[in-house]
Structure 1
Amino acid sequence: MKLKHSIVRFLFGSLSVLLLFFLTGCWSSHEIEELSLGVGMAIDTNKESNSEKMINEKGEGDSKKNMITTTYQLITPEIASSSSKGGGSQKYSYLNISQTGDSILQEVRELSLRTDIPLNATHMKVVVIGDEVAQSFSLQELFDLYLRDNEFRPSCLVVVSKGRASDTLLSKKEGEVPAFRLFGIVDNAYRTTKILPPVSIIKLDGKLQSGSSFLLQNVVSANGQVKFAGAAVIDGKTKKLRGFLNEKELEGITWLTGKGKGGVVKSFDLQSKRMIVYEMESMKSKITPHVRGNNISFDVNIVSKGRLSEHRVDSSTPFENSFLKRAETSTGIAVKQLIDHSIKKMQKDYQVDVSGFGNQLKIDHPHLWEKVKKDWDQIFSEVPIRYNVKITIKGYGASGHYK
């Protein structure tokens, strides 16, 4: 009996010793005081004045047109400490540092010559691409490093800036971190149809590999403030920026794809010509391709339910069925106008499919898709698109009268 208890005690003691090895933490960890956390990055063309001469250290004579300027937004231990104490002359909660070169990786390494705390990109939230660099370089080239480097988190948001991307990483609001601000705006998609579903680095890789054209959220900046304003059109063949959709055209794309989570549509009553505001609570879109011989066409059926949130029609009340039907009709007309503008922009102006028509054709007619996918954008520009919009108002608030 004693022998049995001794064996049990021995095994228990050995297990306890083994468990101690699992309590030592991460052997490869670094103290937070030893890190400079990168939270945002902007990629621009080289903005070099005549008085600033680039010196090619290798003497290889690389063209300056291949130079890009990368701006990193950092949160250093000193900044975090100063901000948390709220004292001193510290105004900003971030530090922006820029580096110019023709190799992004080399630029990152060059930062080691300017700061004693190396860049850590595992907490990177957003990458902003300037429109000039997106027109000059393929996104496949620009993101080659980030798709290979496991230090960059694949969930990092990617957006395009109309203007200098580095300007979007500026703020005049004390204590605000611009990268966090950009990343947070995406969460407002439930309130508007003007925000695209977020495109992360890993999703961007899939879009680039597909060879299809696609959209990235566009952001504009001025005086330290930013706004999501439309979308950037990325050409599937060149992987470069083709142009921009304005906010209304982006709304039309959202209705075509049925990916909106919330938003409002302003229309005008057909009788009184007074304003009506419809608040969308749900939307669905079904794209149906039709193939007859060599002819391709599409039908799009869009349904949405929502509420009457505001109107200026003095002689009507929301409880009247006749008024609700007029409101549904006027809202449907307004949605169709948004879609009309978007289709014209895609088919006539840019000749690209960024609404998923090709993807639905691929699903329903895979053999045909293999024949047309190479020239799909050009073929799409001539394809007939018919669509139907059905709006249903399910609510109109607590008051039945408007005075």
Structure 2
Amino acid sequence: MKQSNNYVRSLKGILSILLLLFLSGCWSSNEIEDIGLSVGLALDEGKGSAIEEEFKQQGAGNNQTEKITMTYQIVNPQGTGSENKGGGSQQKPYLNISETGDSLHQMSREFSLRSDRPIFGPHLKVIVISKNLVRKYRLEQLVDQPLRDNEIRPSCLVLISKGRANETLKSKDSGKIPALRLIGISDNEYRTTRILPPMSLAKLEGKMHSGSSFLLQNVIPTNGEIKFSGAAVIRGKTKKLLGFFNEEEMEGLTWITGKGKGGLVKSFDAATKQPIIYEIKTMKSKITPHVNGNNISFDVKIESEGSLSENWVISREGSENKFLKRAEKAAEEEVKRLINTTGEKMQKDYQVDVAGFGNRLRIEHPKVWEKVKKDWDLIFSEVSIEYNVKLTIMDYGSNFKN
């Protein structure tokens, strides 16, 4: 029996040694210091840097038409917690490198002629495209290469910039990686109604194939700082930039779609003209289409529950309940104003449906949708829409002493 146990233990030991021979480990891995780990990509109108121009003048056989400037943001492994040898100042944790040409794929390979660290795309987090490019080219042309690239993940976010897109990849804070800052801001959707649900490459491809008009989050760069401000309107038929919604119009759209995860409504008390802040806890919207012969109309029922998070009204007449009803009415009127402003912009100014009215018609009246989908944006501009808004203050704290 004892001899049998020794045999089993010996056999286990031999098998363990043999298994070690078959462990490959990270045989195909690359050291982070040896690759250009890209986290951000910016696309602008062609504008080569001084060093690029010098390279092109010295190079031979370069007949490309300069149209687009591509800027990659690459993680600098030496940047975090390190100091420059000369002045002792901390290095930035990122490097921005640009190339100008007429092919995104070719430009990405051009970086191999200038750097010993090849561009590595699987960790690309965000693509920012300047408004001038989206006015000039179809969006599907600009993102064709990233969509085909097996290295770039479909979860990569897409943003539009009113200024030069490469300015959004700069930061005054030497310790921040700007591309990651953009992702962090998009995660603040639960704090405000002025941020769109993130638009990934995968979602963008679906939007473009659907033929419907849609929105992309707009970001404004200013002296190393950025701000999410409104949204770019992309026309479904052309896939080009039509215009922009400002921040208030963006709020109105969030209420129409009911996709907000949080935020505030600032209104003013009718009696005292003092500000009252309603904080959104829940939000939902139901868009109901009605078809009567050739006439199409919609009812939009919007409901929200929230809290009275700030109140500047010092003296109040009447009961507590009367004041809360007054506060609810004031918030409802403000939401209606935002909605009507956005509706006017969609139907009259831009004549595009970016709120999903056509999708609800497609679901509930598919036969009607088949007849109108080809010219839906134009038809949408003439349909009647009725909005009903109901806000309820569920939590108002204890500060109701007269």
Q: TM-score, normalised by structure 2?
A: 0.92
The residue that corresponds to 1:115 in the other structure is 115
2: distance between equivalents of 1:19 and 1:263? 56
The 3-state SS of whatever aligns with 2:82 is: helix
The 3-state SS of whatever aligns with 2:212 is: coil
Displacement of 1:24 in angstroms is 2.3
The residue that corresponds to 2:97 in the other structure is 97
2: distance between equivalents of 1:381 and 1:6? 86
Is 1:199 equivalent to 2:199 in the alignment? yes
Displacement of 1:19 in angstroms is 3.4
2: distance between equivalents of 1:38 and 1:380? 42
2: distance between equivalents of 1:133 and 1:388? 39
Displacement of 1:76 in angstroms is 2.9
Displacement of 1:221 in angstroms is 1.0
The 3-state SS of whatever aligns with 1:78 is: coil
2: distance between equivalents of 1:3 and 1:174? 68
Displacement of 1:273 in angstroms is 2.3
The residue that corresponds to 2:20 in the other structure is 20
The 3-state SS of whatever aligns with 1:180 is: helix
Greater alpha carbon shift after TM alignment, 23-32 vs 167-176 = 23-32
- CA distance 1:111–1:319, change in 2 (3 Å): farther
CA contact 1:36–1:75 (8 Å) conserved in 2: yes
The residue that corresponds to 1:208 in the other structure is 208
Displacement of 1:12 in angstroms is 4.3
Displacement of 1:309 in angstroms is 1.2
What residue identity is the alignment partner of 1:358?
A: G
The residue that corresponds to 1:247 in the other structure is 247
Displacement of 1:270 in angstroms is 2.0
The 3-state SS of whatever aligns with 1:190 is: helix
The residue that corresponds to 1:322 in the other structure is 322
- CA distance 1:16–1:401, change in 2 (3 Å): same
1: distance between equivalents of 2:174 and 2:350? 41
The residue that corresponds to 1:397 in the other structure is 397
1: distance between equivalents of 2:319 and 2:12? 75
Displacement of 1:83 in angstroms is 6.2
Greater alpha carbon shift after TM alignment, 34-43 vs 10-19 = 10-19
The residue that corresponds to 1:33 in the other structure is 33
2: distance between equivalents of 1:375 and 1:11? 75
2: distance between equivalents of 1:307 and 1:150? 47
The 3-state SS of whatever aligns with 1:399 is: coil
2: distance between equivalents of 1:329 and 1:169? 43
Is 1:187 equivalent to 2:176 in the alignment? no
2: distance between equivalents of 1:318 and 1:208? 55
2: distance between equivalents of 1:19 and 1:334? 69
CA contact 1:318–1:400 (8 Å) conserved in 2: no
1: distance between equivalents of 2:49 and 2:76? 30
2: distance between equivalents of 1:177 and 1:148? 26
Displacement of 1:143 in angstroms is 0.8
2: distance between equivalents of 1:344 and 1:151? 42
2: distance between equivalents of 1:59 and 1:224? 33
2: distance between equivalents of 1:83 and 1:138? 44
CA contact 1:35–1:77 (8 Å) conserved in 2: no
The residue that corresponds to 2:164 in the other structure is 164
Where does 1:156-305 land on structure 2 (aligned, <5 Å)?
156-305=156-305
Displacement of 1:367 in angstroms is 1.8
The superposition leaves residues 275-320 of structure 1 with CA deviations (integer Å, 9 ceiling, x where unpaired) of 2111111100001111111111110000000011112222228970
Q: TM-score, normalised by structure 1?
A: 0.91
The 3-state SS of whatever aligns with 1:77 is: coil
CA contact 1:83–1:175 (8 Å) conserved in 2: no
The superposition leaves residues 164-190 of structure 1 with CA deviations (integer Å, 9 ceiling, x where unpaired) of 001111111121111111110011111
The residue that corresponds to 1:127 in the other structure is 127
The residue that corresponds to 2:150 in the other structure is 150
Unaligned runs of at least 5 residues, structure 2? none
Where does 1:49-64 land on structure 2 (aligned, <5 Å)?
63-64=65-66
Unaligned runs of at least 5 residues, structure 1? none
The 3-state SS of whatever aligns with 2:341 is: helix
Displacement of 1:256 in angstroms is 0.4
The residue that corresponds to 2:386 in the other structure is 386
Displacement of 1:397 in angstroms is 1.9
The superposition leaves residues 241-300 of structure 1 with CA deviations (integer Å, 9 ceiling, x where unpaired) of 111000000000000010111111111122222221111111000011111111111100
Greater alpha carbon shift after TM alignment, 269-278 vs 43-52 = 43-52
2: distance between equivalents of 1:48 and 1:111? 14
2: distance between equivalents of 1:83 and 1:49? 27
- CA distance 1:384–1:7, change in 2 (3 Å): farther
CA contact 2:82–2:91 (8 Å) conserved in 1: no
